Amino acid sequence: MVNNKTFSVNFKGKKYLIKNYIVCDSIFSQARGLMFRPRTFRTPLLFIFKKSSKQAIHSCFVDGDFLAIWMNNGKIVDKKIVKPWKFAVTPKEKFNLLLEIPLK
């Protein structure tokens, strides 16, 4: 499901305007994430979790870098550029929202 809400995120001096994104709130959409998507896929994914945790993410089978932004109750708790084939990327604090933005 593509969401039309717009918001911006600042990261390393660059402003990212998020116009449309896909909400990943089912176990299947969260399991797939950016895996197996073509390099031309540019739609950000917003993962919504029921409980806050410090669960690690991975980038296996992801064809390109992406910006991961971890949020807890609307506040950004960590942000990192994730390269392909990283087996465990962990945020600094607990989160209940994760935004993955594919980069060029």
Q: Which residue, 28, 1, 15, 33, is CA-closest to 100?
A: 33
- Confidence (pLDDT) at 29: 92
> 5 or 24: which carries more pLDDT confidence?
24
Q: How many structural domains comprise the chain?
A: 1
C-alpha–C-alpha distance, residues 62 and 32, integer Å: 10
51: CATH: 2.60.120.1140
pTM reported for the whole predicted model: 0.85
The DSSP 8-state label assigned to residue 89 in this structure reads B
Q: Which residue in this structure is represented by tokens 């950004």?
A: 76
- Confidence (pLDDT) at 3: 73
Q: Domain range for residue 28?
A: 2-102
How far, CA to CA in Å, does 31 sit from each of 8, 49, 76?
25, 12, 22
Residues paired with 76 in a beta bridge: 71
Which pair of structure tokens corresponds to residue 56?
């690690």
**Tens digit of each residue's pLDDT (9 = 90 or more) over 43-95:** 999 999 999 999 999 999 999 999 999 999 878 999 999 999 999 999 999 99
In three-state secondary structure terms, 29 is helix
